[in-house]
Amino acid sequence: MRPQAFIGAFVFTLVLRQAAGIKWSRCFRPKAVGNCQNKVPAWYYDFWSFRCKGFLYSGCGGNSNRFPTEEECQKSCLRKSKRKEVCSLKPKTGKCKAAIPLWYYDPELDECRGLIYGGCKGNANRFETCLKCMKRCSGKFIFSA
């Protein structure tokens, strides 16, 4: 993408989000873990993916692009029609008897873990691969081969 097109798209997005009543200045700051030693589950808005993602906050420092829950992040940074909690949902295996190996995101650890899915019911916090799970839910930079 040419730089002019990127800048145009960025400005257009800012205008749309401001018109929708979104607190864009807070949401467009980079993720900042802070400078202490704690590991507190938190959420930030990732401008590049247009999603709220989890990370482990150090407990001090950082910036205002930090929310206690996925829901609070979405309320502040997404239009109502785009909100859908996925990554903060507790894993559910479902009620059926299949044994499908999948992955779910654990915000307490900021990582994806294995889940044996029963094949029906459950919830949206389930992914075919660990990579898909991490890309959707985690703020960690993921390398894919």
In CATH, the number for domain 3-82 is 4.10.410.10
Return the structure tokens found at 46: 């990732």
Q: What phi, psi does 10 have (nearest 5°)? A: -65, -50
Q: Are 47 and 27 in contact (CB under 8 A)?
A: yes
Residue with tokens 């030693």: 37
Q: 100-137 architecture in CATH?
A: Irregular (4.10)
Domains 3-82 and 100-137 in one fold: yes
Annotated domain spans of the chain: 3-82, 100-137
Q: Nearest-CA neighbor of 87 among 25, 131, 138, 34? A: 138
pLDDT digits (tens, 9 = 90+) for 39-88: 999 999 999 999 999 999 999 999 999 999 999 999 999 988 777 889 99
Q: Is the pLDDT of residue 139 over 90?
A: no
